[in-house]
Structure 1
Amino acid sequence: MSVTITVPSEYGYVITTTVATFFLGLWHGMNARPLRLKGGVKQPKAYADSNDFAAADAETKKTLYLFNCAQRAHGNYIENQPSTAIALLIAGLRYPRLSALLGVGWMIGRVIFTLGYCRRDKENGSGRILGFAIQFPMQITLWGLAAWTGISILP
């Protein structure tokens, strides 16, 4: 026995965009790894700590700082990706093209957020602000569209 599911082709945009968020998470890890290696931060430590900084020369301290920034950007992504991916799928039931577009914009904002966070010339991770300003409105809009999709199908 075989089961055939007919899905509107526009849902392909939503599904593909959602799957792309998985690979963006992988990219975050790949972004942090070289800094971990260069800074000498051994697994399973998630971040360079005060002992690492105390034993480091000036250049290594900068690398450790950037590693911590990359790790924090990755952590922030992990904190936001599940709810945004689910919202993308739910909102995509009613607004497939808009949801996919918002999802792509959200991912672009997340890349800019991470690249900005890891800039050598910015202090306190301040380079992340532009990426945040791009991605956050798209994330909130997806959440709102998902909520509206749910509300609209209530009896």
Structure 2
Amino acid sequence: MAGVEMFPRGFGNVAFVLVAYCFLNFWMAFQVGKARKKYNVPYPTLYAIESENKDAKLFNCIQRGHQNSLELMPVFFLLMVLGGIRHPCACVALGSIYTVTRFFYFTGYSTGDPKNRLTIGKYGLLPLIGLMGCTISFGISLLRGPCDRKTSSGSSCYFSSSRVN
């Protein structure tokens, strides 16, 4: 299949981790929908107002747990895809850990006590930092590019303006 050969062995597992995160996101959205019915927060209201709804804090914690996951989703996906091109195994491991921490972040937040989101969820930053490292490594490899000659100074042509493409 055209284009598949450009991806490293194991990159398909990156796709599976991203799909797993999508399923987690769907599950969180379903939990928000259930909370809307349970706490009587109709659409299009994003957050309940405490003066109008005695269960506003409970609903808002569930909604905020999902909202925060949505806010970080594009960053996570971008880091997974780009970093996974160079380091698929590391990104699969880091992405799996991140997905698990997001589950615990959401379930902790959903208790109604925002502090509970951090019990295990606080560790979600660590895999994101690892994914940033993988993506930086990929970026550096792109800057270096293929090079099969030396510059006039005798050094390799990585990062030089006379790079061979």
- Deviation of the 1:100 alpha carbon: 0.5
Q: Secondary structure at the match of 2:4?
A: coil
- Deviation of the 1:37 alpha carbon: 0.3
Query: Corresponding residue for 1:48?
Result: 48
In 2, the alpha carbon distance for the partners of 1:139 and 1:8 equals: 21
- Deviation of the 1:23 alpha carbon: 1.8
Query: Corresponding residue for 1:137?
Result: 126
Number of aligned positions between the proteins: 143
Unmatched runs of 5 consecutive residues or more in structure 1:
none
Task: Note if 1:75 corresponds to 2:64.
Answer: no
Q: Which has the higher helix share?
A: 1
Q: Secondary structure at the match of 1:153?
A: helix
> Are the equivalent residues in 2 in contact too, given 1:111–1:131 (CA < 8 A)?
no
| CA deviations over 1:33-77 (Å, ceiling 9, x no partner) | 111101111100011113422xx4xxxx2xx32211111011100
Percent identity between the aligned chains?
28
In 2, the alpha carbon distance for the partners of 1:131 and 1:48 equals: 26
Off by >3 Å, runs of 4+ in structure 1: 2-5
Q: Could you tell me the TM-score, scaled by structure 2's length?
A: 0.79
In 2, the alpha carbon distance for the partners of 1:17 and 1:88 equals: 9
In 1, the alpha carbon distance for the partners of 2:121 and 2:105 equals: 6
Unmatched runs of 5 consecutive residues or more in structure 2:
145-165
| CA deviations over 1:125-149 (Å, ceiling 9, x no partner) | 1101123322111112112211221
Q: CA RMSD in A?
A: 1.8
- Higher RCO (Cα < 8 Å, 6 or more apart): 1
Q: Identify the range of structure 1 (141-150 vs 93-102) with the bigger mean alpha-carbon deviation.
A: 141-150
In 2, the alpha carbon distance for the partners of 1:148 and 1:49 equals: 46
**Structure 1: which amino acid aligns with 2:62?**
A
Q: Secondary structure at the match of 1:66?
A: helix
In 1, the alpha carbon distance for the partners of 2:73 and 2:81 equals: 12
In 2, the alpha carbon distance for the partners of 1:136 and 1:91 equals: 16
Query: Corresponding residue for 2:78?
Result: 86
Pair 1:148–1:9, CA change in 2 (3 A): closer
In 2, the alpha carbon distance for the partners of 1:5 and 1:118 equals: 41
